[in-house]
Amino acid sequence: MIKTAFISLMLTCVVHNVSKAQVSFERLSDNVFHINADGNKTSVKSLLIVKNNKGLLVDAMYGEFGKSIKTYLNENDIKLEYIINTHYHGDHTHGNSNFDNTTIIAHQNTLSNIEKKAQYGPEEPFDKKYWPNLLFTDSLLLSFEGIEINIFHLGKGHTNGDAILHIPAFNLVDLGDMILAPQALPYASDPKNLISVLSTISESINTETIVVTGHGTLANKDALDALIRIMKETIGYVEDGKDVSKFPAEWNSWNSQFMDMATWLGMLTKYYKS
């Protein structure tokens, strides 16, 4: 699924703060920016690819942050041509509403979830004209200004419509919320299949690959393998019927603002007993 011909990225940092809901832009290469909301390391993240004054945005964040992204694009004379929504949750899709006349790409199930108003948390529905309008089920190959972007879905992971992006020219994959941050437990709609998805990706990348997370900091293959390992260990623990209140103390190192180990094991217990 993922090609292994890669080139390395030179990491530099350029920060721009715009609007009340601030976003910062970290330059990963001449063409790629990692966008961070509000300067918080665990806040929602986006990816911007720019070439020939045209832009492609992976996830548009909440509406106010999307407005800040739009301000940055306008100030730098960048025309946004594409948005890719990695999944349907409002912290990744509501910013769509800032961008008119833009092709919005997503998995079919992402659109279905938006139509059903199956939003996560307190988010409000947004105008239909900003819903995804270019859909895929298994995969989509996009050429953006000569940059090849592979978009594909490998089944349930974080949601039933996760879009995975692979950009060979930049040795980069974007996994959305399938990995929230390095050393952080995931939110998984299907824990075992999420392991399968992440394992497939891990087998197809190398130690230099940049892994973009939906929240938190940038990750790499080692961080991905560590997540797979802790998921396998904890699932095995629950399947073996062990007392989830007496899990190994070292597992608490995976606690984060996203989820703690006790909650994760409780979710697994409910999942495997249902």
For residue range 87-109, list pLDDT tens digits in order: 999 999 999 999 999 999 999 99
Distance CA 182, CA 217 (A): 7
In whole angstroms, how far apart are CA 92 and each of 46, 84, 110, 163, 209? 8, 10, 11, 12, 23
What is the pTM (predicted TM-score) of this model? 0.90
Phi first, then psi: give them for residue 2, nearest 5 degrees: -110, 130
Q: Mind listing the pLDDT tens digit for each residue in 131-171?
A: 999 999 999 999 999 999 999 999 999 999 999 999 999 99
* Statement: residue 23 has pLDDT above 70: yes
pLDDT at 116: 84
Task: Check residue 39 and give its pLDDT.
Answer: 66
- Token digits for 73? 């694009």
When the pLDDT of each residue in the chain is averaged and rounded to a whole number, the result is: 89
- Beta bridge partner(s), residue 134: 105
Burial 205-238 (b: 16+ CB within 10 A, else e): beeebbbbbbbbebbbbebbeebbebbeebbebb
Q: Are 130 and 60 in contact (CB under 8 A)?
A: no
**209 band by pLDDT with thresholds 50, 70 and 90:** very high
